[in-house]
Chains A and B, each alone.
With several copies, the nearest count.
Chain A
Amino acid sequence: MQLHGVAVRYGRVPVLKGVELAVPSGEAAGIVGPNGSGKSTLLRVLATLLRPTEGSVAVFGTEMGEATAFAIRRRIALIGHQPALYPQLTLRENLAFVARLSGHTDERVDEMLDVVGLGGAKHRRAEQSSHGMQRRVEFARVILTRPDLLLLDEAHAGLDREAGQLVDAVVENVRSRGGAAVFVSHELDRMLPLVQSTYELTGGIVIAGSSS
């Protein structure tokens, strides 16, 4: 997965400038940087959800364009600041919706909900579930759909101590399947053990990249 000279502007405001970034298969990269530096924007570019104003993005070796994006998207998953849930549907219905659309059975849904520790609460509506419970469903989705590119925006936020280890396990799992992960977080001590390289973003520019 590779970014080359990527720039993004919202209207006239530049948010990213000449970003270069490469994450080989089987590795995870961490992105750190102060608030408002463009980390979430960068993840949306990687997810093909935002087309950069300049520069090129290549995912799984294919250059992103109009047509290619479609084929590739199924293999990408993003966990962002806001959970992607229908408030009126139960946690189980939410996950089952995703499952059917990606060709999985309902048994797998129940299994995944058990995995993230929501087996006993799966019939609560999303609007009646706590912040952390909603975040856990997001992880259940990622475990279910087995993406090859996993994008995590402050994934630990809202998860309790035990559920926090889900992040490690999920990243591990994606990498072991030969996928890549990109990880934005302010909690360095939890992120650094998981990543092979880190990039520091400040004011939309990558000012430092290091691999360990």
Chain B
Amino acid sequence: MNRHRILGLIALAAVLVGFYFGGQAPLDQLQGDYTRIMYVHVPSAWLAYLSFLVTFAASILWLARRKPVYDRIAESSVSVGVFFTALALMTGMIWGYPVWGTFWDWGDARMMTTALMFFVYLGYLALRRSIPDPAMRATRSAVLGIVAFFLVPLSYVSVIIVRTLHQGITVVRPDSPIDGEILLALLSNVGAFTVVYLAFMSVKTAIARGEEQLEEQSAAADATPAGAAITAPNLEKVRDV
């Protein structure tokens, strides 16, 4: 069994454990079963943050060291981060409908910043697609990976800057009001999602490396240089036409 499959199985197991704790945790009186969405919503938001943090760090490392592995990590982490962001957005919207009576609220800074974070990193992927040269692609997207990152802390503190519907920062607070069992359920899901992240990353980076190697090989195999395709003109033909 290869490394990816093992990691995948561990991730699956961790998610099942997380769901078990999530199912066990006590419910909020007001929201009932809807509370359980939290165990997907909050970990995926946090993992999205983590993904983009990893991209941020890997981008700096690429600029400093120029090792292709950093570029692969940066790219893969964005792909995974975009997935988690989408998950956080979707679960948030599903949660919001019964709780606030709307899928989406304007002016809610948390939703806005999260949505825009999503768009910027989609832009990151679009940028990568539009640059064919590997070194150029890596460097430019590294700069974007650094610049875009400032939306992440902004998304986190946005609830402080603009007070609206979304829950304030509750978990990470010295006087955290969270019930022990809920905290356990939350943290076990965060742990499970982290393993999922690692599993995705190992597959994504392996794919990226494989693609690079394939590129190298086919470049080596493609022995005829560009210039060889151009031949002398056929002057006789010109006179004939």
Q: Which residues of A contact B (CB under 8 A)?
A: 9-17, 33-38, 51, 66, 111, 114-121, 124, 133, 136, 139, 143, 146, 162-163, 165-166, 169-170, 172-173, 176, 201-205
Interface magnitude class on chain B: 20 to 34
**CB contact list, B93-150 vs A, under 8 A:** 132-133, 135
Is A34's CB under 8 angstroms from B227's CB?
A: yes
Taking CB atoms, residues of chain B closer than 8 Å to A163 are 232-233
Chain B proximity of A26: nearest CB distance (Å): 15
Whether B238 and A170, one on each chain, are in contact in the complex, defined by CB atoms closer than 8 angstroms, is: yes
Q: What are 11 A-B contacts with C-beta separation under 8 Å?
A: A10-B226, A11-B133, A12-B215, A14-B223, A115-B237, A115-B241, A117-B230, A162-B232, A162-B233, A165-B235, A170-B238
Q: Is the CB of A37 within 8 A of B227?
A: yes
Question: Do A172 and B225 touch (CB < 8 A)?
Answer: no
Residues on B with beta carbons closer than 8 Å to the beta carbon of A176: 239
Cα distance A35–B227 in the bound complex, in angstroms: 8
Query: Is B219 interfacial (CB-CB < 8 Å)?
Result: yes
Q: Could you tell me the distance in whole angstroms from the C-beta of A104 to the nearest C-beta in chain B?
A: 11
Complex interface: chain A residues within 8 A of B135 (CB): 51
In contact, A12 and B218 (Cβ under 8 angstroms)? yes
B172 at the interface (CB under 8 A from A): no
The CA of A16 and the CA of B219, in the complex, are separated in Å by: 12
Q: For B29, what are the chain A residues with a Cβ–Cβ distance below 8 Å?
A: none
Chain B contacts of A10 at CB under 8 A?
A: 132-133, 226
Known: A17-B225, A120-B229. A115 touches B234 (CB 8 A): yes
B2 on the interface (CB 8 Å rule)? no
Q: Is A11 in contact with B226, judged by CB distance below 8 angstroms?
A: no
* Set of chain A residues within 8 Å of B222, measured between Cβ atoms: 12-14
Given A12-B219, A38-B225, residue A118 in contact with residue B230 (CB < 8 A) = yes
Q: Kindly identify which residue among A35, A169, A203 contacts B228, using a CB–CB cutoff of 8 Å.
A: A203
In the complex, A150 Cα to B233 Cα: how many Å?
A: 19
User: Separation in Å of the B234 CB from the closest CB of chain A?
Assistant: 5
User: For residue B136, which residue of chain A has the nearest CB?
Assistant: A51
* 5 A-B pairs with the lowest CB-CB distances in the bound complex, closest first: A120-B229, A204-B225, A203-B228, A37-B227, A169-B238
Does B231 count as interface, using CB distance less than 8 angstroms? yes
Q: Taking A14-B219, A143-B241, A169-B239 as contacts, is the C-beta distance between A36 and B234 under 8 angstroms?
A: no
B224: chain A residues within 8 A (beta carbon)? 14, 203
A64 CA to B32 CA in the complex, in Å?
67
CA distance A166 to B16 in the complex (A): 73
Residue of B nearest to A12 (CB): B219
B window 183-241: CB within 8 A of A? 215, 218-219, 222-235, 237-239, 241
**A139 vs B233: C-alpha distance when bound (angstroms):** 11
Complex contacts, A115 vs chain B, CB 8 Å: 233-234, 237-238, 241
Asked if A203 meets B238 with Cβ closer than 8 Å, knowing A117-B231, A121-B230, the reply is no
| In contact, B234 and A117 (Cβ under 8 angstroms) | yes
A22, chain B: closest CB distance, angstroms: 21
Residues of B contacting A120 in the complex (Cβ-Cβ under 8 angstroms) = 228-231
Across the interface, do A36 and B229 meet the contact criterion of CB distance under 8 Å? yes
Contact across chains for B226 and A14 when beta carbons are under 8 A apart: yes
Contact in complex: B232, A117 (CB < 8 Å): yes
Given A11-B132, A51-B135, A173-B239, A38–B233 Cβ distance below 8 Å?
A: no
A13/B226 contact (C-beta < 8 A), A146-B241, A170-B238 known? yes
A17 to B224 Cα, complex, angstroms: 10
In the complex, the answer to whether B233 meets A16 with C-beta atoms within 8 Å is no
- Interchain CA distance A143-B237 in the complex, whole Å: 10
Q: Compute how far the CA of A33 lies from the CA of B228 in the bound complex, rounded to whole angstroms.
A: 11
Chain B residue nearest to A142 in the complex (CB): B238
Chain A residues near B225: list those with CB within 8 A.
Answer: 13-17, 38, 203-205
Residues of A with C-beta under 8 A to B237: 111, 114-115
Chain A nearest CB, measured from B64 CB (Å): 11
Residue from B132, B215, B225, B227 having most chain A Cβ neighbours under 10 A:
B227
User: Smallest distance from the beta carbon of A207 to chain B beta carbons, Å?
Assistant: 11
Measured between beta carbons, the chain A residues less than 8 angstroms from B228 are 120, 202-204
Contact at A165–B233, with CB atoms within 8 Å?
Answer: yes
| Contact indicator A15/B234 (Cβ below 8 Å) | no
B223 to chain A, nearest CB (A): 8
